Amino acid sequence: MISRIFGRAGGIALGLAASFFILSYSNAQNHDDPHDGHGHAEIPGSGLEILQEKGTAPAKAADETIAKIREEGLNKSKVMDTVLYLTEVIGPRLTNSPGMKRANEWTAKKLTEFGLENAALEAWGPFGTGWTLKSFSAQVTEPVCIPLIGLPKAWSPGTGGKVSGPVVHLTATDEKGLEEFKGKLKGAIVLIGSPRDVKALFEAPGHRKTPEELLALANAPEPTPGGGGRGGFPQGKAARKDESKKDEVKKGEPGKDEAKAKANDVINRVRNQGNFTSKRLQFLIEEGAAVMVETSFKGDGGTFFVQSASVPQPAQPESTSAGGEGQPRMPARKNAHDKDAPKTLPQVVVTVEHFNRLAHMVKAGEKVKAEFEIAVEVQDKDMMGYNTVAEIPGTDLKDEVVMLGGHMDSWHGGTGATDNAAGCAVGMEAVRIIKALGLKPRRTIRIALWSGEEQGLHGSRQYVKKHFGAIEGATDSFFGPTAAPTAPIVKTGEYDKFQVYFNLDNGTGKIRGVYLQGNEAARPVFRKWLQPFVDLQANTITASNTSGTDHLSFDGIGLPGFQFIQDEIEYDPRTHHSNMDVYDRLQADDLKQASTIMAAMIWNAANMDGKFPRKPSRRPILTEEEAKAKKSESPEPKKAEAAAGD
C-alpha cells in the first residue's frame, strides 16, 4: 500500500492530512443498515446479528457456479505457491529494479500457464532509475563492538567502500541550531532525530475486526464531498463536526476568517518544518557527513520501517490563504529516483533500540566510533515502468471489461509479502479459478499487476489515463491529480466499455466486506454478491471511503473502483513497509478466502445484466472531440494568465 510517510517533515504533513482520514460511526438506528428490510442471521461464533436476504442460505450458495468457485478456491488453492515464489524466490520488487522486472516477466508467464491470453508487460512512464542493494554492513567499533540492525534507504548512494568516523547526534531543531555543528561533521556518522520511547507490548499486534467494529463500519455515514478524509472526504465525527459549523460560519465572517487563519497557520508550520528538514539535509551534505542515520517512527524488537532516501527540496513558499484563491503553488517535489535527482548522502535506518543506545552513549560523553559500508547499483538504462496485464476474453460482451489487480512493487526492507505480493497472488488465483473451472465470462476479465504504486500510484494512474481518460489540466502529485474544481473528465473510447475494478492491498487479512467509495447505487449489488459468503464473514458494506491504493486511479475519473475491507492482522504495527514484511507473516486460510471471493466478484461483474452502477460525477464528462471543441472556444491560456496578473 502506498506510503503515508515522507520521513520526519513529510510525516507531519501527512499526519495533518491523515487527521482528516478518521473513520467514525453512527448508531445503528441512525443509518440504514446495508441489509435493511431483509431477514436476520448471525456471523458464526461472533454473536453479531446481521441482516440478509430472505429465503437464502449464505453458507450453501444457490448458484452452482459460485459453489464451484468456492470448492476450487477453498480446497484446491494454489495461492500460497504463487505468493511463495514472488516473495521467497524473487524477493523485494522496488520499482524499476531487476527484482521488479523479474516479477513482471514471471507473472506474465505464470498467467499464461493458467490459461490467460494476451499476457504482456505494458510500459508506462518515464519513472526514473532503479536501485539495488549489493552489500551492507554497519557496526559500532569503539568503545565496544555493536553490530547494528538496519538497512540503507532505497536510492541511497553508496559509501564507496568502508567509511569510519565519530558518531555525532545532530540535535538542532532550527537553522540557528545547525550553526553549532558547523565544521564538526566532516566524515561523521550523524544521528538525526530524538530517541523514541519503547513501550512494552501488553496486547498482541495481530488483530481481526470485531463484530462491533464491523457494525460501526456498516453504519458509517455517507462521505461528505469536498473534505479531506479517506478518498478526499471527511467522515464520521469529522463530517458531523463540519456540518455543525455550517450555521456558525453563515452567521458572520469573523468565525470563517478565524478558521481560515488557523488552517493557514497549520499549513505554514508544516511547510516551515519541511523547509528546515531539507536545509538540515543540505547542511549535512555541505559539511561532508559520511552517513545519516535515523530510526523509523514506529516499530521495535528488531522491526523497523524503511522507504526512500531523502533529497534536498525546493523551498516551500508561505501560505497566504488556506486552500483558496491566492494559495502559492507548491514547487515540484524532487525524488531520489529521478534521473536528475539532487545530490544527497548515504542514509540508513536502524532499529529504535540501537538508535537509542547510540544517542544515549553520545549524550553521556562517550567517544563513539562506527563503521558503515553500503554498495549499491543504479539501473538507468530503461527509465520506463511496467505493469503486467493479462486477460480472459469474454464472449458476447467481449468489448466490455472487468478488471482486478493489486500493486506488485514493494519496498526493499522485506520481500513485500503483505504489501503487496498477497494482493497480487489473490488476483492471480482468482483468474486461475475461473480458468480451472472452464468458465466463459460474457465480458473480458483483465488482471493488472501494477508497479510504481509506492511512489504515488504511478502504474495504475498512467494505465487509466492511457486507456480510459483523465481530468483535463490535472497535475500529478503523490496525493493524486490536482485540477480546477470545474475541470472536466476527458474520456477515451474505452471509458464507456469499462465495467468495474476490484483491488486488494491491505495485507494478508481475509475479506470482510467492501468500501462503497461513495457509490450508494452499488450497495444492493454487493449485498447480493456477498450473500453466499456470510459464513466466511465477508458481508459488511460500508459507505466509508478508503485511500492509499490503486482503486483511486479509477475512482478519480468516475469509474467504479473498489478496495475490500480486510482484517488488519499485523499490517500497520509490524509488516507494512518493514523489514518483517516476509512470507512467514502471511495467513494461508485468509488468502484462500480472499481469492475465492475475488473470483466470485469478477465472475458476477462479468456476467451481470446491464452496467455496473456509477456514482454521479461532480465533473463534466467529455469525449476527446468535445474537449478539443470546448478548448478552441475558450480564451488562450496565455491571455487568460496575463489578465489574471493585471
pLDDT at position 254, please? 53
Q: Are the beta carbons of 348 and 151 closer than 8 angstroms?
A: yes
- H or E, element range at 398: strand 397-407
| Rounded-to-integer distance, Cα 577 and Cα 589, Å | 23
Query: Architecture of 68-129+382-621 per CATH?
Result: 3-Layer(aba) Sandwich (3.40)
How sure is the predictor about 31, in pLDDT bands with cuts at 50, 70 and 90? very low
| Residue 151 phi, psi (nearest 5) | -155, 150
Residue 497: φ, ψ to 5°: -95, 0
The single-letter DSSP state of residue 21 is -
pLDDT tens for 248-283 read 434 445 566 777 777 777 777 778 788 899 999 999
Sign of CA dihedral 122, 123, 125, 129: positive
| Torsion region of 409: left, alpha or beta (phi above 0 gives left; psi -120 to 50 gives alpha) | beta
Which among 379, 423, 420 has a CA at the least distance from the CA of 404? Answer: 423
Strands 189-192 and 291-295, by their bridges, are parallel
| Residue 631 binned pLDDT confidence (cut-offs 50, 70, 90) | confident
Q: Would you state the pLDDT for residue 331?
A: 76
Report the residue count for the chain: 646
Distance from the Cα of residue 439 to its chain's centroid = 32
The pLDDT value recorded for residue 328 is: 61
Cell of residue 641, nine digits: 494568465
pLDDT tens across 461-503, in order? 999 999 999 999 987 765 566 788 889 999 999 999 999 999 9
Taking CA atoms, 384 is separated from 37, 129, 339, in Å, by 52, 9, 11
In this prediction, residue 501 carries a pLDDT of 98
- For the domain 1-30+131-379, what is the CATH code? 3.50.30.30
Q: Does 57 score more than 50 pLDDT?
A: no
Find residue 370's DSSP bridge partners. Answer: 140, 165
Residue type, position 584, single letter? D
250-272: string of b/e by CB count within 10 Å (b at 16+)? eeeeeeeeeeeeebbeebbebbe
Whether the pLDDT of residue 41 is over 60: the answer is: no
For 81-129, what is each residue's pLDDT tens digit? 999 999 999 999 999 999 999 999 999 999 999 999 999 999 999 999 9
Average pLDDT over residues 492-515: 98
DSSP alpha helix (H) spans, 437-559: 458-467, 523-530, 551-555
Rounded to whole angstroms, the Cα distance separating 250 from 255 reads 9
Q: What is the pLDDT of residue 258?
A: 77
Cell matching residue 359: 544517542
Residues 458 and 125: their CA atoms lie apart, in Å, by 8
Contacts of 453 by beta carbon, 8 Å cutoff, 6+ apart: 1, 2, 407, 409, 420, 459, 460, 505, 549, 550
The residue-averaged pLDDT of 448-470 equals 97
For the chain, what are the domain ranges?
A: 1-30+131-379, 68-129+382-621
Q: What is the mean pLDDT of the chain?
A: 85
At 15, the amino acid letter reads G
Alpha helices in 385-457 (DSSP H): 422-436
pLDDT in tens, 180-236: 999 999 999 999 999 999 999 999 999 999 999 999 999 999 876 543 333 333 333
